[in-house]
Every structure is written in structure tokens, then in C-alpha cells.
Amino acid sequence: MTARQLRVAAVEPLTPLVTRFRFECPEGGSLPLFSGGAHVVVEMPDDGVLRRNAYSLISDPMDGSGYDIAVRREDAGRGGSRFMHTRVAVGDLLRIGAPVNLFALDLTARKHVLIAGGIGITPFVSQLKQLQRLQLPFELHYAARSRAEAAGLRLLPDLPQVHLHLSGEGKRIDPAVILQGQPLGTHVYTCGPQALIDRVAEVAAQKGWPRAALHAEAFLAPPTGAPFTVTLARSGLKIEVSPHQSLLEAIEAAGVDAPWLCRGGACGQCETEVIACHGRIDHHDHWLSDSDHAANTKIMPCVSRFQGAELILDR
Amino acid sequence: MPRTEFTPSITTRPVYPGLSPVPGAAALMLADASGAEALIELALQDAALIAAAHVIYIPEGAPFGAALAALHPKHYHEGPSFSAILPRFRKALLDAHMGTRLYLAGSETLIGLAMAEALAAGLPVDAIQSDHRGSIARRMQCVHCKGITEGVTTDPFTCSHCGLTLFVRDHYSRRLAAFQGVCVDAETPGIVPELQEIKP
Ligand code: FES
């Protein structure tokens, strides 16, 4: 991963739980441009543990003067967002990876319908800038609990195509209404809680939408869980994965080089062969097929965990 | 008329796996004489699908019109040729929304022309199903003069526009709904391979 040291140029609370961070080149100069929906991986040296979390870029894809991200504080998470909220200040240097896009717009679409739930608004902020620049037809539906919690309100343009669904004000988002009567060639993109993504997929299937017109990004942070032990056969190591560490982080902490890209169970890059599994793998990824999940012969260490007597990986 | 079984070819050569009912917002169906039975078979699998469908039929003298009308589609229309039904087909696509499924049955040329119209209207390719029945005559584009020769059944054939002798390729253009014909004797003028019937 090509990562470079960037300086924190701004820290701005958007809501009580969501904060915007801006990174710029310490020497001045321009950063690589990206496309709407791209993310970066932020490296966080947290008391001897190196965490790497992926965050969607919310700045203008065509503006290389800096990268903006919005981080929601998850106190029950593994600690990455807490680190960002409590330990990062303007002027700090952090290593940031080059932008990667696993949630790009399909530019063959005639119209783009974007559906966001909660902090899932973030990838759409840059997509919206791209859509406006290309003058493509779109509509955005943003579901949040309340105005006070809706960080996106500070990030979205004031346009008639932007629709707000606040459940606290009795306006619950209804994918069946959104998908109704969309013109031929419309693509729909969903980012947010899994339940919202599943609901959109279900409604779309009922209405006869082909799968290829649906895109989704679950903002999948590696789940926490009970500690477990893993044997890395090729490296000849037996390692412990702590409750607040992902398997991938534990592999890295042991000094073993392992491939990764999204760190969120979506890209397939970290796929690892399982040599022996006596117990149950808790698969959390969106990459492997259901039959792969059932067979327990492969694992995605960025998000998946294990319970049982023994797990041996080809790593 | 049974479904045509084609021999495996290059990936650009279209395949026609047949029709199976998909629940959806709306269904648009188009068949010619050789494809009518495919729609009747589809109705046997899912009567509700046909009942809600817009069916367009090009009889070409075949007797299936009464049987199709008897399935009681929501809209039923017959026309003598593809160009005759084209305004209605275009209007149906214009009025269609995401979730509409298109079912095509009959000759390769009908399927190809209808599919090109539908794709141009924005219908996703995954929303289109097709069942090839009947003639395997090809609609060929001469890659040299760009003229289209309809109903080609031999390889090589003579371009009806520029007169070159063309080799029949499996290379297909979805946009043009035509296979590509390439001059067969460019390097050895006049030396032309023996004429063969095109096979499926
Ligand atoms: S790093 Fe992308 S799936 Fe694990």
C-alpha cells in the first residue's frame, strides 16, 4: 500500500458523534485526485498497536489540495474511531494510503439513485460532486434519526434532488416508494446499515430490477468478539487475536506480511486458505460465496473471526 | 418450433438460453412466427405474467395469432414486419420503467434488432431474455463498405452493397444487431473458398 505522511489541517465536529478531519501535504502541493465513492486507509499508531481504518473521502474528487473524511465515534468498536476523536489534533502527522474506489459510480447508467442510512452518507458526498460536475441525473435519499445526528446535513448541497428522511420526525425511508417508476437505465447505490441494503435489494428484486443495476457498500468495521488463537502454518507462528483486534491486525502485529485493500470484507484481496478448522469461523465478509462460507476452507482475515479448538491458515 | 442449439463459439457470439418467467413490474414480449410457440410455452409456466404483459407479434403468415390472443395479455398487437411494429415497440420502451422485463423469441435478426432498440432505450441487458427459434439466416455488416446484407445463409457471400466476397464471422455487434463480414480474397483476388451452408 502506498501510504504517505499527511498533516492534519482541520478537525471540525459536525455532530456530537461525527467529526470531520482534513489532511494536507506537509510540504504543500497536490495529492492524487480520485473518483466519487473512493476511500483512504488511515494508519493510527495507538500505544504500540497499529490500526488501519478505511474512511470514505468526502472532499471534491477533483480537488487535490487535501483529503477530507468524516469519522463517527464508535465507543463499542475496536478503538480506531476513538483514537481519531480523542488523540488527533491539528498539526499531527498521520500516514494515509492512496485513494481506492470499491464503490464507484457506474457511468453507463442513465440515472443514479443514491440511498444512504446514517454515516453511510459519506461515500455519496464525493459521488454527488462528481455527478454534479458531469451533469448527470441523480437523486439522493438520506435517512437519519434526527437533524441533530445527521452529519450529512453539513456536507450535502442544498438541491431539490436531495431528500431527507428523518425517522424521528416520522419520515421513515421507504425503498419501495423510491424505486417505484424509475426510468430505464437507473442504477441504485445503497450505503448504510445491512438492514437497509437488504431491504433495497429485496424491493428491487420484487420489482424485477436486474442485480447489475444494484450497488451497495456496507460500512463494515471489523467486528469485535471473543479472543482466539490462530496458527499461521507458512510463518510457523501461533498468534492470539484480542477482542478489539481483527485477525488481519493480529497477523500484521506478529510481523507477517499479509495482503489487504479495503479492510472491510469487500474487495477480496485478503482471502486466505484455511488448512484446518476445528470450530466455527464467523464469516463477516461480503466477498466469499455462501458455499465458501459453509465449506470453511477460506477466510477473510480483515473482518472474520473464529471460535473453537484450532484454526490453521496458509499464511 | 424447437429452440435452436448453436455450437460453441467466441464470446461475442450471442447465445439464446430461452425464456423463463421473472416476477417484475411489467413484461414486454415480442415474437415472430417461429418464436410464437416460445411465448405460449412461457404462458404455460406463468399465466399471470402473460396476463400483465404487452405482447407484440409478427405473424408472417403463421397461424399462432389466435392462440396468443387467447392468452389474454394486457395489450396484444400484431404487425406485418419489424419495421411496422417498431413505432409501437419504441413507445412501449419509452413508457417503461426499471423493473420491466423484455422477452424476445424468434429469428436471430428479430432478437438482435429488438435488443439493440431496447439497449438504446436504456433497458439493462440483464432485463432481456431471448429464445432463438427458426431460421439461422444472419444479418451481416460488410466491414469494408458498412452496408448490411440481410438473410445471409451461405459462407462466403456477396455483399449486396459493394459486391465484395465476404467471409461470415461470428464476431457480432450488439449495437448494429449484425455479424461482421470480412473480404475473403483480399490477398488472393478471385480465389474464394467453396460455398458452404451456414450451420447453427
Ligand atoms: S481486505 Fe478487502 S476483503 Fe479483506
Whether residue B66 sits in one domain with residue B117: yes
Verify whether the Cβ–Cβ distance A185 to B25 is below 8 Å: no
Whether residue B102 sits in one domain with residue B31: yes
B1 part of a folded domain: no
Using the predicted structure, report yes or no on whether residue A82 has a pLDDT greater than 70: yes
Q: Which of A300, A305, A315 has most ligand 1 atoms within 8 Å of CB, for mutation? A: A300
Residue B60 is part of a domain; what is its CATH number? 3.40.50.80
Whether residue B186 sits in one domain with residue B112: no
Kindly report the protein residue whose alpha carbon is nearest to atom 3 of ligand 1.
Answer: A265
Q: What's the rounded Cα separation, in Å, for the pair B94 and B116?
A: 14
Q: Residue A230: what are its φ and ψ, rounded to 5°?
A: -135, 140
Mean pLDDT of B42-59: 94
Please list every residue in chain A whose beta carbon sits closer than 8 Å to the beta carbon of residue B23: 206, 208
Mean pLDDT of A73-82: 87
Q: Please state at what angle helix B108-120 crosses helix B82-95, rounded to 10 degrees.
A: 30
Mean pLDDT of A48-66: 93
Whether residue B115 sits in one domain with residue B146: no
Which of B134, B103, B110 is closest to B4 using CA atoms?
Answer: B134
Using the predicted structure, report yes or no on whether residue A30 has a pLDDT greater than 80: yes
Verify whether the Cβ–Cβ distance A110 to B122 is below 8 Å: yes
Q: Where do the domains of chain A lie, and which CATH numbers do they carry?
A: 3-97 (2.40.30.10), 111-217 (3.40.50.80), 228-313 (3.10.20.30)
Mean pLDDT of chain A: 94
Q: Using DSSP, state whether A306 is helix, strand or coil.
A: strand
Q: CB of B22 within 8 Å of any CB in chain A?
A: yes
Query: What atom in ligand 1 is closest to the CA of residue A263?
Result: 1
Nearest chain A Cα to B126, which residue? A210
Mean pLDDT of B38-50: 93
Query: What atom in ligand 1 is closest to the CA of residue A287?
Result: 3
Q: What's the rounded Cα separation, in Å, for the pair A241 and A75?
A: 20
Whether residue B39 sits in one domain with residue B123: yes
Whether residue B149 sits in one domain with residue B95: no
Whether residue B34 sits in one domain with residue B73: yes
**pLDDT at site A25:** 96
Q: CB of A280 within 8 Å of any CB in chain B?
A: no
Q: Which domain holds residue B39?
A: 27-132
Q: CB of B25 within 8 Å of any CB in chain A?
A: yes
Mean pLDDT of chain B: 94
Using the predicted structure, report yes or no on whether residue A227 has a pLDDT greater than 60: yes
Whether residue B126 sits in one domain with residue B143: no
Query: What atom in ligand 1 is closest to the CA of residue A268?
Result: 3
B116 part of a folded domain: yes
B17 part of a folded domain: no
Using the predicted structure, report yes or no on whether residue A1 has a pLDDT greater than 60: no
Q: Which of A261, A283, A289, A298 has most ligand 1 atoms within 8 Å of CB, for mutation? A: A261
**Overall number of domains in chain B:** 2
B125 part of a folded domain: yes
B119 part of a folded domain: yes
Whether residue B156 sits in one domain with residue B118: no
Whole-model pTM: value is 0.88
Q: Is the CB of A102 inside a 6 Å radius of any atom of ligand 1?
A: no
Nearest chain B Cα to A111, which residue? B122
Whether residue B155 sits in one domain with residue B113: no
B20 part of a folded domain: no
Question: Final residue of a domain: which of B132, B148, B176?
Answer: B132
Confidence of residue A219 (pLDDT cuts 50, 70, 90): low
Could you report the predicted ipTM of this complex, rounded to two decimals? 0.85
Segment 184-203 of chain A within 8 Å of chain B by CB: 184-186
Burial class of residue B32 (count of CB atoms within 10 Å of its CB; 0-12, 13-18, 19+): buried
Q: Which of A281-286's residues contact partners 24+ apart within 8 Å by CB, and which partners?
A: A281/A305, A281/A306, A281/A311, A282/A223, A282/A225, A282/A306, A282/A307, A284/A220, A284/A222, A284/A223, A285/A220, A286/A218, A286/A220
Whether residue B155 sits in one domain with residue B106: no
B11 part of a folded domain: no
Confidence of residue A244 (pLDDT cuts 50, 70, 90): confident
Whether residue B179 sits in one domain with residue B148: yes
Q: Using DSSP, state whether A125 is helix, strand or coil.
A: helix
Confidence of residue B86 (pLDDT cuts 50, 70, 90): very high
Question: Final residue of a domain: which of B82, B103, B132?
Answer: B132
Mean pLDDT of A159-187: 96
- Higher-confidence position of A33 and A1: A33
Q: Is the CB of A100 inside a 6 Å radius of any atom of ligand 1?
A: no
Q: What is the pLDDT of residues B68-81, one digit of tens each?
A: 999 999 999 999 99
